[in-house]
Structure 1
Amino acid sequence: MNTAEVLVESLEREGVECVFGIPGEETEALLFALRDSEVTFVPTRHEQGAAFMADVHGRLTGTAGVCLSTLGPGATNLLTGVADANLDKAPLVAITGQGGLERLHKESHQALDVVDMFEPVTKWNAQISDPDIVHESVRKAFKVAEYEKPGATHVELPEDVASEECDVRPLDRRERVRRPDPDEPSIDAVRELLADADRPICIAGNGAVRTDASAALRALASDYDLPVAATYMGKGAVSDADDHSLLTLDSGDHEEASDAIQSADLVVTVGYDIAEHDPADWNPSGETTIVHLDSDPAEVYEHYNPDVEVVADIAAAVRELNACCADLDAEFETDWYDDVRDHIVADVTPEINAGDPFTHRGVVTVLRDAMADDDVLVSDVGTHKMVIAQNFRTFEPNTCIVSNGLASMGISVPGGLAADLAVDSNVVAATGDGGFMMNAAEIETATRLDCGYTILLFRDDEYRLIADEQTDHRGEHFGTEFSNPDFQTFAESFGIEAYRPDGWDELRDDLEAAVESDEMAVVEVVLG
Structure 2
Amino acid sequence: MTVKVYERILELFEAEGINTVFGIPDPNFVHMFHRAQERGWTVVAPHHEESAGMMAEAVSRMTGKPAVCIGTLGPGIANLAGAIMCAKVENSPVIFLGGQRARITEQRVRRGRIQFVQQTPLIENAVKYSASIEYADQTDEIIREGLRKALSGTPGPVYIEYPSNVILEDLDVPPALPPKAYRLVGQTAGADRITEAVEAIRAAKQPVLLVGHGVHTARAGAQVKELADLVAAPVIQTSGGTSYIAGLEDRTFPYGFSPSAVEAVVQSDLCLAIGTELGEPVHFGRGYHWVANEANRKWILVEQDPSSIGVNRPIDVPLVGDLRAIVPQLIEALRDTPRSPSPELAGWIERDAARLAELAESAPSGMSPVHPARLSVEATKAFPPDGIMVRDGGATTIFGWTYSQAKPHDVIWNQNFGHLGTGLPYAVGASVADGGKRPVMLVTGDSSFQFQIAELETAARLNLPLVCVVGVDYAWGLEVGVYKRTFGQGSLETGVHWSTETRLDKVAEGFGCYGEYVERDEDIAPAIKRAYASGKPGVIHVAVDPKANSEEMPSYDEFRTWYAEGQQ
1:448 Cα deviation after fit: 2.1
Deviates more, 1:321-330 or 1:486-495: 321-330
CA distance in 1, matches of 2:42, 2:340: 55
Residue of structure 1 in register with 2:274 after alignment: 270
State TM-score, norm by structure 2.
Answer: 0.82
Task: Kindly provide the CA deviation profile for residues 459-494 of structure 1, in whole angstroms up to 9, marking residues without a partner as x.
Answer: 111121233244345536543323362212211111
Residue of structure 2 in register with 1:482 after alignment: 498
Q: How many residues align?
A: 523
Residue of structure 2 in register with 1:204 after alignment: 211
Residue of structure 1 in register with 2:137 after alignment: 132
Residue of structure 2 in register with 1:307 after alignment: 316
Residue of structure 1 in register with 2:414 after alignment: 403
Name the SS of the counterpart of 1:428 in structure 2: strand
CA distance in 2, matches of 1:180, 1:479: 51
Deviates more, 1:79-88 or 1:281-290: 281-290
| C-alpha contact (below 8 Å) 1:298/1:306 kept by paired residues | no
| C-alpha contact (below 8 Å) 1:240/1:395 kept by paired residues | no
| C-alpha contact (below 8 Å) 1:19/1:66 kept by paired residues | yes
Residue of structure 1 in register with 2:167 after alignment: 162
Map of 1:121-520 to 2, 5 A cutoff?
Answer: 121-146=126-151, 149-168=154-173, 171-175=176-180, 177-232=184-239, 234-237=242-245, 239=247, 241-242=249-250, 244-246=251-253, 248-251=254-257, 257-275=261-279, 277=281, 278-279=283-284, 280-284=287-291, 288-297=297-306, 299=308, 304-322=313-331, 330-331=339-340, 333-335=342-344, 338-339=347-348, 341-342=352-353, 344-346=355-357, 348-352=359-363, 354-357=365-368, 358-392=370-404, 395=407, 397=409, 399-423=410-434, 424-475=437-488, 478-483=494-499, 485-520=502-537
CA distance in 1, matches of 2:48, 2:30: 18
Task: Kindly provide the CA deviation profile for residues 337-380 of structure 1, in whole angstroms up to 9, marking residues without a partner as x.
Answer: 72453564346534356513423332222222222322101112
Which blocks of at least 5 consecutive residues in structure 2 are unaligned?
546-568
CA distance in 1, matches of 2:68, 2:464: 19
Which blocks of at least 5 consecutive residues in structure 1 are unaligned?
none
Name the SS of the counterpart of 2:201 in structure 1: helix
Deviates more, 1:386-395 or 1:411-420: 386-395
1:419 Cα deviation after fit: 1.8
Corresponding position: 1:71 with 2:73: yes
Percent of residue pairs bearing the same amino acid type: 23
Name the SS of the counterpart of 2:56 in structure 1: helix
Deviates more, 1:68-77 or 1:365-374: 365-374
Letter in 2 for 1:415: Y
| C-alpha contact (below 8 Å) 1:452/1:517 kept by paired residues | no
Residue of structure 1 in register with 2:552 after alignment: none
CA distance in 2, matches of 1:204, 1:298: 20
CA distance in 2, matches of 1:337, 1:271: 26
Task: Kindly provide the CA deviation profile for residues 209-246 of structure 1, in whole angstroms up to 9, marking residues without a partner as x.
Answer: 2334322332343444311111237421365642x222
1:427 Cα deviation after fit: 0.7
Name the SS of the counterpart of 1:250 in structure 2: coil
CA distance in 1, matches of 2:426, 2:412: 9
| C-alpha contact (below 8 Å) 1:260/1:337 kept by paired residues | no
| C-alpha contact (below 8 Å) 1:380/1:409 kept by paired residues | yes
1:104 Cα deviation after fit: 1.7
| C-alpha contact (below 8 Å) 1:240/1:393 kept by paired residues | no
Name the SS of the counterpart of 2:165 in structure 1: helix
Task: Kindly provide the CA deviation profile for residues 400-445 of structure 1, in whole angstroms up to 9, marking residues without a partner as x.
Answer: 1111222211111122212222222111122211111110011112
Name the SS of the counterpart of 2:540 in structure 1: strand
1:275 Cα deviation after fit: 4.0
| C-alpha contact (below 8 Å) 2:60/2:217 kept by paired residues | no
State TM-score, norm by structure 1.
Answer: 0.88
Task: Kindly provide the CA deviation profile for residues 481-512 of structure 1, in whole angstroms up to 9, marking residues without a partner as x.
Answer: 23362212211111221111232221111112
Structure 1 residues 167 and 52, CA gap change in structure 2 (3 angstroms): same
Name the SS of the counterpart of 2:117 in structure 1: coil
1:251 Cα deviation after fit: 1.9
CA distance in 2, matches of 1:64, 1:326: 32
CA distance in 1, matches of 2:462, 2:200: 54
Letter in 2 for 1:53: M
1:335 Cα deviation after fit: 1.8
1:85 Cα deviation after fit: 2.4
CA distance in 2, matches of 1:258, 1:114: 47
| C-alpha contact (below 8 Å) 2:363/2:377 kept by paired residues | no
Name the SS of the counterpart of 1:162 in structure 2: coil
| C-alpha contact (below 8 Å) 2:508/2:539 kept by paired residues | yes
| C-alpha contact (below 8 Å) 1:135/1:168 kept by paired residues | no
CA distance in 1, matches of 2:325, 2:25: 44
Task: Kindly provide the CA deviation profile for residues 103-125 of structure 1, in whole angstroms up to 9, marking residues without a partner as x.
Answer: 22466433333222332332323
| C-alpha contact (below 8 Å) 1:179/1:312 kept by paired residues | yes
- Aligned with 1:522 (options 536, 539, 546): 539
Name the SS of the counterpart of 1:111 in structure 2: coil
- Aligned with 1:117 (options 100, 122, 128): 122
Name the SS of the counterpart of 2:478 in structure 1: helix
| C-alpha contact (below 8 Å) 1:12/1:39 kept by paired residues | no
